[in-house]
Chain A
Amino acid sequence: MTEAPLLEVEDLRVHFSTDDGVVKAVDGASYSVAAGQTLGIVGESGSGKSVSSLTALGLTRGRNTAISGRMMFAGRDLLTLDASKMRQVRGNDLAMIFQDPLSALHPFFTVGNQLIEAVRSHRDVSKAQARERAVELLGLAGIPDPAGRMNRYPHEFSGGMRQRVMIAMALLNEPKLLIADEPTTALDVTVQAQILALLQDLQDRLGMAIVIITHDLGVVAEMADEIAVMYAGRIVERAPARELFARPQHPYTWGLLKSIPRLDNPREEDLTPIPGRPPSLINRPSGCHFHPRCPYVQDEHRRVDPVLTPVAGNAEHEVACLLPAQARNAVWQALSRGESVQQAQLLARDRARVAARGPDPAASADPGGPLEVQP
C-alpha cells in the first residue's frame, strides 16, 4: 500500500482507574485501515476490541481514563481533538453501529426524528431535505416502505430492521469509516446473513472503509480483507484474511480455530478448547500475556514480552510470539493434519531446541522434516 492509511492507530493505551486497580483495557494496540478496505478485529470479551473503537469516537474519555498513543484519521489525531471538534467528526466522517440496536436507538422518538436529527447536526439543510435524505437511506438499507416507517418508534421494528435503521443512520453523512461493533451478534443466522450482505453491498456503493469487531471467525472470514486478533488489550496477530486462515502463526489464533465446530470439518472431530480463561486486565500475566494458557510455553515466555514482528517472507503478516518461526510452522502443520496438542507440544519443543542451537548442518538440511517425537 502506497497511500497513507485512512485510520492509523499507534501504540494505543486506554487505562481505566477503578477501585480495584487500573484496568488496562487496551495496552499498546497498533493497527491501520486503508480507505475502502475492511479490517476485522477478532477477540473474546475483555480483549479490548470494543474499547479501542469506542476510543476512536471519543466515547471513553472521562476523569478515570488515561489514554495515550496516536489515532490518526484522515490527517488528524483523534485523541487530541477537543469535544466540539470530536462532535464534528463523530457521525460524520466516522460512524459506528452497535451490537444492540434497541438500546442504541432512543425509545421516545420516532425513527424519522432521530434520523433527521443526525443529518441536521452535521449539515445545514432544511428539515424537508433532511427527511428526504433519511428516507433515501432507509430505502438503501433495505427497509420496505421507508417513508411510512419514518413515523414509527424503534419498538415497532424487529431486531434485523432496527439494525438496518442503525446502518441507515450511520451512513447518512457518507462516512469514510464505519465501525461495526458486533453488528450481528444479537441477530438470528438468516438475518445476520442479510445484514452482512447489506454492509458489503453498501460498501461497494459508497466506498467506505469498515472496521468490523466480532468474536465470530466465520463473520470476519466472509467480511474482512485484513484481520487483527486481539488478546488482553493487544494485537497478537495481524494478516490478510486468507493468509491468516491458511497460515496462522499465534498459539491463541490456533486455539480459536481449533475450538470452534465448523460445518466443513468431519463431524466426529474432537474440539480442542483453549485451557483456562482470559486473564484479568488488572493483574495481567508477566511476559507474554497468553503464556498461562499457551500449550507451547517456555521459561523465557514468562519474562519476555513479545512485540508484533513481521513473519519471515511476508511483511503483511505480523505476529507477537516468542516461539521460533520454524517451531510455529511445524506446530500449525501438525495441528492442521489433525495431530493432538500433545504431539504438537513435543514438536514445538524440539524445533525450538534446534533453533536455539543455531545453524546446524543436520537440522538445516531438513527443516520441515517428518515428525520425530522424542520421549
Chain B
Amino acid sequence: MSASGEVIIQARELTKHFAITAGVLFRHQVGAVKAVDGVDLDVRRGETLGIVGESGCGKSTTARLLMRLLEPTSGQILFEGNDISRIKGDPLKQLRRDVQIVFQDPYSSLNPRRRVGTIIAEPLVIHGLASDAAERKRKVQELMDRVGLNPEHYNRYPHEFSGGQRQRIGVARAIALDPKVLIADEPVSALDVSIQAQVLNLLRELQRDLGLTLVLIAHDLSVVRHMCSRVAVMYLGKIAELAGADELYSMPRHPYTGALLSSVPVPEPPEGGRRPRHLLSGDVPSPANPPSACRFHTRCPKMQPVCAEQEPPLEKKSDGIGGLTACHFPLTPEEVAERLPPALVRPAAAE
C-alpha cells in the first residue's frame, strides 16, 4: 500500500461537542457530550485507514466530521490542502463529489419508496452529470454491475433485496460520482456472517480498481485488521493509538489496545481449558463527563498518579517500538505477549 502517499484529508485539533440542553420555555445548555475532543489525523491518498473503538468513542462522529456531514465545534479539516471546516453552499456541494459515505444500516439508509435505479442515479442528478434519461440508465446499470447487482433489477424497490444486496446498492450510490475518498461506517455489522465477506471483498476490490482512499469505521478488530493498512484506536473522543496495521496487531503500545486485542474471541478452542484474559473492569465512562488527563486512567491496569494529572500526548515512544501512542506507561513486549492471542504473538516473536 502507499504508506508514503500524500495526505488527502488532514484533521487538526478536531472537536465536536453536542450540547445537552434543559428547560422547555427557556432552553439552555447544561453540558456537552464531548464526542470528539481534540483529534489529529491524516488520511493518506490510496490507503485504507481503519478507525476502531467501542460505542461512544467518537469514531462515527470523526468520520462525519472528516466529510463535513457535521460542522466541527473547533479545529480544522483540510481536504487536499483546502480548509473545509466551515464551507457552505457550492464548495460543500463540490466536496460531496469527492468524499462519499456508506452507512451501517442498509435498511434505513435507502428510501423505501424509491426504485433502486432512482436511488443510485440521485447523486448523478444532483450534480447534473447525466441529464438525459438513457445515459443515466446506462450509467446506473454499469454501477450495479460493478458492485455485483443484476442490472436488470433496476426497477425494483429496496425491500426486494437482501441485506447484503442493499449494502451493495449503498456502495453503488456512493461510488456513482467517482469520489476520491470513500468512508464506510460499520459497513458489515448489520449483515450475516456469510454475507459480510461478500461486502468486504467488494470494498477491497473497488479500492484496488478505482484507486479509492478508504476510511473504514468498525468495532470489529478482525475486520479492521483484514482491511486496513493503518489503524487509529479511539477512546472517549481521542486517539489512543495510531499505527500501521501489522505493528498495531503485533505490538500494541496503549494498554487499551492491549485490552481490546485480549478481548477478541478467537475461533480456535484454546488448548487445555481457557485462555487467560486481561479484562478491563467497568464500562466506558460517559463522554459528557470524561475522566481528567488520560481518559483511560479509570480502567487502566497500569495507572499511576501522573495519569490523572497530565494528559499524555500522541507520540512515538522514545524506545522506538510501535506506532504513535498516547500513554505515559506504554506496554512492554512482555506485557504484550501476555495479552495477545497466542497465534498473534508467534509471527512477532519469530522476527
Does A188 lie within 8 Å of B265, measured CB to CB?
no
Does B197 lie within 8 Å of A273, measured CB to CB?
yes
Q: Does B343 contact A (CB under 8 A)?
A: yes
**Which residue numbers of A lie inside 8 Å of B, CB to CB?**
44-45, 158-161, 188-194, 196-197, 200, 215-222, 224, 241-242, 245, 255-257, 259-264, 267, 269-274, 277-278
Q: Considering residues A191, A224, A245, A273, which has the most beta carbons from chain B within 10 angstroms of its beta carbon?
A: A273
Does A222 lie within 8 Å of B195, measured CB to CB?
no
Within B264-287, the residues touching A (CB, 8 Å) are 264-270, 274-275, 277, 279-280, 283-284
Q: Does B94 contact A (CB under 8 A)?
A: no
Contact of A193 among B220, B262, B267 (CB under 8 A): B262
CB distance from B199 to the nearest CB of A (A): 9
Does A221 lie within 8 Å of B201, measured CB to CB?
no
Per DSSP, chain B at the interface is: helix
6 residue pairs, one from A and one from B, having the closest CB atoms: A264-B343, A218-B265, A261-B226, A273-B197, A193-B263, A188-B54
Given A189-B219, A192-B263, A193-B262, A264 and B268 touching (CB < 8 A)? Answer: yes
**Residues of chain B at interface, number, CB under 8 A:** 46
Residues of B within 8 Å of A273, CB to CB, are: 194-198, 201
Q: Does B337 contact A (CB under 8 A)?
A: no
Does B197 lie within 8 Å of A271, measured CB to CB?
yes
Q: Does B221 contact A (CB under 8 A)?
A: yes
Residues of B within 8 Å of A263, CB to CB, are: 221-222, 225, 249, 261, 264, 266, 341, 343-344
CA distance A259 to B200 in the complex (A): 10
Chain B residue with the shortest CB-CB distance to A47: B192
Q: Does B234 contact A (CB under 8 A)?
A: no
Q: Does B246 contact A (CB under 8 A)?
A: yes
CB distance from B268 to the nearest CB of A (A): 6
CA distance A221 to B264 in the complex (A): 11
Does B193 lie within 8 Å of A256, measured CB to CB?
yes
Does B197 lie within 8 Å of A221, measured CB to CB?
no
Q: Does B310 contact A (CB under 8 A)?
A: no
Contact with A along B160-202 (1 / 0, CB 8 A): 0010100000000000000000000000000011111110110
Residues of A within 8 Å of B283, CB to CB, are: 158-161, 191
Does B226 lie within 8 Å of A277, measured CB to CB?
no
Does A190 lie within 8 Å of B269, measured CB to CB?
no
Does A219 lie within 8 Å of B265, measured CB to CB?
yes
CB distance from B300 to the nearest CB of A (A): 12
Chain B residue with the shortest CB-CB distance to A271: B197
CB distance from B7 to the nearest CB of A (A): 24
Given A160-B283, A221-B268, A263-B341, A189 and B221 touching (CB < 8 A)? Answer: yes
Does A261 lie within 8 Å of B223, measured CB to CB?
yes
Q: Does B11 contact A (CB under 8 A)?
A: no
Given A44-B194, A188-B284, A278-B192, A260 and B54 touching (CB < 8 A)? Answer: no
Contact of B54 among A189, A197, A261, A262 (CB under 8 A): A189
